[in-house]
């Protein structure tokens, strides 16, 4: 039994059922939420939340949106990207250029410089970033050096929707970030469930990753408890499917046929460089807009509800 795969597709989970589970939403679901958000709220509108200039020194702000999608080159991620791009096309919206990059820390700085130059020269106003947590740090720095501040759409992958990651970005760039997140509003780091569990057995301070580890173990514990006395992969799966959906720190958890990952809803967020994070007390935080959560098909149409 495996837990914690990073955003692999719904089909991949079906192919490995009932042995692989994760709190990281399936890449297909992430793509569907991102595409629904973009086509309902951004497509056909103007880039009112962009700033800076393109390579011809023409302002980005207010011009018709031109999209780009970012994701690692790995086939299991690009499969989900293609799902999102197909949704764009079906909605009559041009998905724009698709940028692939390598998950190679040693080359990310150079990759980011080249990507930003490409985006700026093509006049891209709006980027959907199905990114890892590191490359936005490099992208934000490269973009700031070029006075290029496109709308940076958060889709909720790999901690890019957390305060501690956003605080690492160039803040002039981060100020143009908004989108969707499956997480709930954070609480102070010493008030999380993972922190409490750690402190129940040790007196030293845990690392940040304790919360992720705790949530994966919590998901495993649900399956064991719900499986009953005869624990097999099949009874574990049936127990997970019988679990009544609940909202927790990592979103609304519900599992079932073709759904082996936990979070099934999102909230709209934007980056406020002046807000103080509830998680670590530092400046810069993601802020909710309407304090509502939406399952697939429920995101309302209309402009993003951000300042």
Residues near 180 by Cβ (< 8 Å), separated by ≥ 6? 33, 34, 37, 154, 155, 156, 161, 266, 267, 268, 269, 299
Cross-strand pairs, 252: 247
Answer yes or no: is 86 within a domain: yes
Q: Is 240 inside any structural domain?
A: no
Residue 214 included in any domain: no
Q: Positive or negative CA dihedral for 287, 289, 295, 300?
A: negative
Task: Tell me if 117 is assigned to some domain.
Answer: yes
Residue 6 C-alpha from the chain's centroid: 11
Largest CA distance in the chain: 68
Cβ atoms < 10 Å from Cβ of 287: 16
33 in a structural domain? yes
Q: Is residue 131 part of a domain?
A: yes
pTM, two decimal places: 0.94
Counting the structural domains of the chain, the total is 1
**Is there a contact between 266 and 181 (Cβ–Cβ < 8 Å)?**
yes
Domain that holds residue 79: 27-184+263-288
pLDDT by residue, tens only, the chain of 307 residues: 888 888 999 999 999 999 999 999 999 999 999 999 999 999 999 999 999 999 999 999 999 999 999 999 999 899 999 999 999 999 999 999 999 999 999 999 999 999 999 999 999 999 999 999 999 999 999 999 999 999 999 999 999 999 999 999 999 999 999 999 999 999 999 999 999 999 999 999 998 889 999 999 999 999 999 999 999 999 999 999 999 988 888 889 999 999 999 889 999 999 999 999 999 999 999 999 999 999 999 999 999 999 8
Q: Is residue 295 part of a domain?
A: no
CB 194 within 8 A of CB 164: no
Other CB atoms within 10 A of residue 70 CB: 23
- The closest alpha carbon to 180, from 201, 205, 156, belongs to 156
Is the Cβ–Cβ distance between 284 and 303 less than 8 Å? no
Domain holding 166: CATH number? 3.40.50.2300
Tell which residue, 103, 175, 104, 116, has the closest CA to residue 142.
116
Preceding omega of 28 cis (within 30 degrees of 0): no
Rounded CA gap, 127 and 69, in Å?
6
| 306 in a structural domain | no
Query: What pairs with residue 179 in β-bridges?
Result: 154, 269
């Amino acid at each position: 039994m495996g837990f914690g795969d990073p955003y692999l597709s719904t089909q991949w989970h079906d192919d490995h059922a009932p042995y692989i589970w994760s709190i990281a939403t399936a890449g297909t679901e992430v793509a569907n939420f991102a595409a629904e958000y973009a086509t309902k709220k951004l497509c056909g509108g103007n880039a009112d939340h962009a700033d800076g200039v393109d390579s011809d020194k023409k302002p980005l702000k207010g011009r018709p949106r031109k999209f780009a999608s970012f994701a690692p080159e790995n086939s299991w991620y690009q499969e989900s990207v293609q799902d999102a791009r197909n949704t764009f096309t079906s909605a009559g919206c041009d998905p724009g250029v698709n940028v692939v990059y390598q998950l190679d820390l040693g080359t990310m700085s150079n990759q980011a410089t080249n990507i930003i130059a490409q985006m700026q020269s093509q006049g891209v106003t709006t980027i959907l970033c199905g990114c890892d947590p590191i490359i936005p740090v490099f992208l934000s720095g490269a973009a700031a050096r070029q006075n290029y501040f496109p709308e940076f759409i958060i889709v909720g992958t790999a901690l890019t929707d957390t305060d501690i990651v956003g605080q690492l970005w160039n803040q002039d760039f981060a100020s143009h970030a908004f989108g969707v997140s499956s997480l709930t509003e954070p609480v102070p780091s010493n008030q999380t469930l993972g922190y409490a569990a750690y402190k129940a057995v040790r007196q030293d301070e845990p690392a940040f990753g304790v919360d992720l580890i705790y949530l994966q173990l919590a998901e495993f514990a649900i399956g064991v408890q719900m499986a009953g006395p005869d624990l097999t992969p099949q009874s574990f799966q049936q127990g997970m499917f019988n679990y009544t959906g609940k909202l927790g720190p990592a979103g609304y958890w519900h599992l079932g046929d073709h759904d082996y990952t936990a979070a099934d809803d999102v909230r709209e967020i934007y980056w406020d460089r002046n807000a103080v994070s509830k998680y670590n007390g530092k400046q810069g935080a993601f802020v909710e807009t309407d304090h509502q959560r939406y399952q697939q098909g429920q995101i309302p149409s209309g402009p993003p509800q951000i300042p």
